[in-house]
Each structure stands twice: as C-alpha cells, then as structure tokens.
Amino acid sequence: MTPSVLRLTAAELGARIAAGELTAVEAAQAHLDQIGRVDGDVRAFLHTDAEWSLAQARAVDARLAAGEQLGPLAGVPIAVKDIFCTAGVPTTCASRILEGWRPPYDATVIERVRAAGLVMIGKTNMDEFAMGSSTENSAFQTTGNPWALDRIPGGSGGGSAAALAAFEAPLALGTDTGGSIRQPAAVTATVGVKPTYGGTSRYGVIAMASSLDQPGPCARTVLDAALLHAVMGGHDPMDSTSIDAPVPPVVAAARSGEVRGLRIGVVRELGGEGYAPGVEQRFHEALDVLADLGAEIVEVSCPHFRYGLGAYYLIMPSEVSSNLARFDAMRYGLRVGDDGTASVVEVMRATRGAGFGAEVKRRIIIGTYALSSGYYDAYYGSAQKVRRLIAQDFDAAWERVDVLVSPATPTTAFRKGERIADPLAMYMSDLCTIPSNMAGNASASFPCGLAPEDGLPVGFQVMAPVLADDRLYRVGAALERALAERWGGPLLDRLADGAAGTYLGVATAEGN
C-alpha cells in the first residue's frame, strides 16, 4: 500500500481520501514512514513529530466522517519551510538564535492550510533566515538533492524541494525573496511558484526582506501547486501589503493548459555566457514544444535586468539589517553571556555573535553600511532607482507579450561546498529569478528535462504580470503534459524508479 500512496499526486490523494478509499491517517503514516526510511540521507526535515501529525490526520478524518465539506486537499500531507510560525511547534529559521523557539500563534498561511484539512508532517530545512541558494547555510544540517546526494537542493527552500523529490511529502510551503522557491524547484525537477507580491499573506512568516518576501506553493505537479495556491491565497487584513483582490483562477488554468495564441517573450538578457549548455538546450527545446502547441514565441529585451543582481544585494541586505535587529536576546530566543554582571550591550553582542551564522552576519553588515549616513543615496537609493527601471522593463514587455520566459537558474545543481567560499558565485544562482521579486510580479519554475552533460534537472521559468498568476499555470500545465508524453510519464518517476542514479526514493520502499 505504501509505495502507491507515495506515488499519488496531491490531487489524487485528496480524491481518494474524500471517496473513503484512504484515510488521512494512512496517508500521513505512509509519508512519515518514507521520512524514516530516507531522511537520514536526504536531511530535508529539521523537525518531525509523528503524534502531532497523526493527531491532525485523525481530526481531519473525524471532520470528513461528520460530513464536513472540506477542500480537495483535505487529508493530504504537507511539509512546511521552517520560516512559518506554527503554534507550539519549533520554528527556527534554521538559526541558532531561534533554536527551540515555539511560537504562540500560527501564520495566516498555516491557519488556511489547517482549515483546508491539510496535515503538516514536519518543518523543513533552509538557509538561515532564508539567506542562501544552497541550503548549506543552515545552522543545523546540510540537505542533499535526491537526484544526487552530493549536490545541493537549491536554496533557501532546499528542504521543501528535497522533501518533494524524495517523495517524503506531496506538497510543501516555501517563501521566495530572490528565487528561494523557484531555484530549488529547478534543480530538483519539482514545481515552485512565487505568487504576485501581496497575493499570499506574510503574517507570521519570519521576515527577511519585507518588500521582497512572498510565500508560495511547492509541489510535484502543476495542478497540485495550483490547488495549494488557491488555499494559501487571498486578502489578509493582518498583512498591510496583502492585496484586496480575488485569487486569480489558478486551478482552472492548471486544468486547462491552453497556450494556443499566447504570446511568449524570451528575455534576451537571461541567457548566453555563463549559462550551462545543457540548461540552454533544454530551455529551447521547451520553447519548441510550446510553439508546437500554438504559442507565439518572440524575443524581448529587458535591458535593466542585468543590473538586478547588484541592486537586489543592496536592497535585500538593507531590509535584513532592519528586520533582524529584533533578535537582541532581550525578549525571546538565544541569550549568551548573561552572567548577571554583563551589560545589555554586552549580552546583545555576545548573543548575536553566537547566534547568527556567517552569511547572515555578512548581509547585516552590508545592509547596515548601505543605510549609513553618507552612503544611503549612493547605495540604497540608487538600488531603488534600478528597481523602478526593472519594473518599467516588465511594463514595456507586457505591452507586447502575455508572459516572459527564461531558464530558472543558469546551471544545474552544483556540488556541496563548491561555492561556499565564493559568495558572488553563489549569488549568481538567482540571476534569473531576482527581477520578478524586484517588480513584484508572479513567476514560477517548471521542470523541462535533464541536462545531457550531468543528467540533472533543468527548470523553465515563466513570469506573468501582477495578479495574472493563472498564466503561469496555463504555460506550466501545457509544458507538463507535452513533456510527460515525450518522457513516458512524470520526470520524477525516473527518480522514484531509481533510474536517475544514486537515490532510490520510492524504489527503496518497494524493496527494488
């Protein structure tokens, strides 16, 4: 029974649970068993509690038995990036400074997930405070990519993406500040969506950079991501940046997958030198597939995108410097050096020195400098002007095309440790994803094949205008169906069957 449950999509699982063919408890137990089998190698989860998860599942089964009408994902297990506050459950942001902290409340997204009957099965690993592109900056452990355990699973949400690819969960929650959902999705052959900024609530999501952070769905299929998006999305009065508008028709778009007549713009600046040949090959093959389906493919220039990386790494650290000032050892979290004689300043200095990792400290220092007197206009102010120019590039593009596309990241998953000593090389992982965060529009990564040189996944990025998130799902669904026919099924089936190489996720469960 277990292997077949693990191979079901979230939509299929929900349908079986609703039909009484499977219970939420059975679904949760199957995935907890898979975590027990493989997470010692993958290390996707920072916290699991079987009784906590099974208690949720029993409650969902009771609600269904009582005739309560729940959504299509009722009873489906979900992994949660450890940046969402979960009442009474450890929430650390993979940082020593929050080690053991248990929030007294749920994030709005968590409340909506609970109300829809999803079952949380654990908190996933991440780069500390979402600062990184490899999940190597976690204070607690390094996560492996299920396609090759010596490779990174992307970041900052590598734990959520790895859990999906390892069949430890059919759905996961992520956040995307500069690519933290889309880049992990790209390198694990999963689906990751950054909704329009303000389309999902940030209330209860521990802030990194408030004008850039956005929660979003992570899944193995386009429809599953859309179903989760529909649960997460919508106005929240607790979030001052939340958009008071209906959730775009993402589920209908995912079921449709119609791209005939859609104008697709290929961003000239997101390709060429520095992009792996296999990434570009698979990207252009995917373009050919969409053209065969009736889409119109045109080249579009967005000249200011090339300045996005530099501007982002001034704006984001500046907001980090402000947001992380709250971790001062005075109210909650870690406290170091409080021997009864130390001053407040000494305790704060010792705590922040011991509690924050190297990458977090680096960004706090950069941000504090960029905001300092005499440098504010030269650095932070100039970066904000570039941000406006990037948004104008998008606005000009939308006059010509319905969506923009590019590779999701310039390379496939690199080896662990390969870029740790070179921050700039690490930051380049987000070269393609950053513009959408700067402008606030919707964006997603969908699998488009394996690079021929290393056999690792490649992601196809789709960008859509503000509140046109449904266009992402139209393109993603069309691509997913066409490529599944070419591949003979979902790409992740190769991983599950052991055909991808080192990691036999579901094959292990089947005893193959």
243-259 pLDDT per residue, tens: 999 999 999 999 999 99
Is residue 378 domain-resident? no
| Gyration radius from the chain CA atoms | 22
Dist. CA 136–CA 84, nearest whole Å: 19
139-151 residue pLDDT tens: 999 999 999 999 9
Q: Tell which wins on pLDDT, 118 or 500.
A: 118
Average of pLDDT values for 85-101? 97
Dist. CA 273–CA 290, nearest whole Å: 24
Tokens representing 146 are: 């299920």
Is residue 257 domain-resident? yes
Tokens representing 104 are: 């007294």
What residues make up the domain containing 205?
2-307+385-510
Confidence (pLDDT) at 330: 87
Confidence (pLDDT) at 507: 41
Sheet strands side by side (includes 171-175): 45-47, 119-124, 77-81, 171-175, 215-219, 191-194, 442-450, 457-464, 403-407, 263-267, 296-300
Instruction: Identify the residue whose tokens are 């990174």.
Output: 152
- pLDDT category of residue 506 using cuts at 50, 70 and 90: very low
171-216 residue pLDDT tens: 999 999 999 999 999 999 999 999 999 999 999 999 999 999 999 9
- pLDDT category of residue 1 using cuts at 50, 70 and 90: very low
Residue 511 has pLDDT above 70, yes or no: no
The burial of 171, by beta-carbon neighbours within 10 Å (0-12 exposed, 13-18 middle, 19 or more buried), is given as: buried
Which residues share a beta bridge with 60? none
CATH number of the domain bearing residue 471:
3.90.1300.10
Min mean pLDDT across 183-197, 378-392, 434-448, 483-497 is at 483-497
Is residue 332 domain-resident? no
DSSP state of 502: S
Average of pLDDT values for 406-419? 97
Listed in sequence order, the residues at least 6 apart from 270 whose beta carbon sits closer than 8 Å to its beta carbon are 302, 305, 406, 407, 431, 432
- pLDDT category of residue 3 using cuts at 50, 70 and 90: low
Length of the chain: 512
The b-or-e profile of 221-249 (16+ CB within 10 A means b, else e) is: bbbbbbbbbbbbbbebeebeebbeeebbe
Residue 510 has pLDDT above 50, yes or no: no
Residue 130 has pLDDT above 70, yes or no: yes
Dist. CA 490–CA 110, nearest whole Å: 29
DSSP tally for the chain: helices H, then strands E: 19, 11
**Which amino acid is it at 430?**
D
Confidence (pLDDT) at 499: 55
Contact at 8 Å (CB) between 55 and 150?
A: no
Confidence (pLDDT) at 502: 46
- Number of Cα atoms under 13 Å in the Cβ half of residue 436: 39
Confidence (pLDDT) at 99: 95
DSSP states of 409-450:
SSSSPPBTTSSTT-HHHHHGGGTTTHHHHHHT-EEEEEEEEE
Residue 95 has pLDDT above 60, yes or no: yes
Instruction: Identify the residue whose tokens are 């060429």.
Output: 272
Q: How large is the angle between the packed helices 308-323 and 358-370, nearest 10 degrees?
A: 100
Is residue 335 domain-resident? no
Confidence (pLDDT) at 30: 97
Dist. CA 5–CA 31, nearest whole Å: 8
Contact at 8 Å (CB) between 449 and 187?
A: no
* Chain mean pLDDT for the chain: 95
Is residue 242 domain-resident? yes
Is residue 339 domain-resident? no
Return the H-helix or E-strand segment holding 195: none
Task: Count the domains in the chain.
Answer: 1
Dist. CA 123–CA 390, nearest whole Å: 34
Confidence (pLDDT) at 497: 79
Query: CA of 377: how far to CAs of 255, 258, 313, 314, in Å?
Result: 48, 46, 15, 11
300-355 residue pLDDT tens: 999 999 999 999 999 999 999 999 999 988 888 899 988 889 999 999 999 999 99
Is residue 467 domain-resident? yes
Active site residues: 81, 156, 180
Is residue 370 domain-resident? no
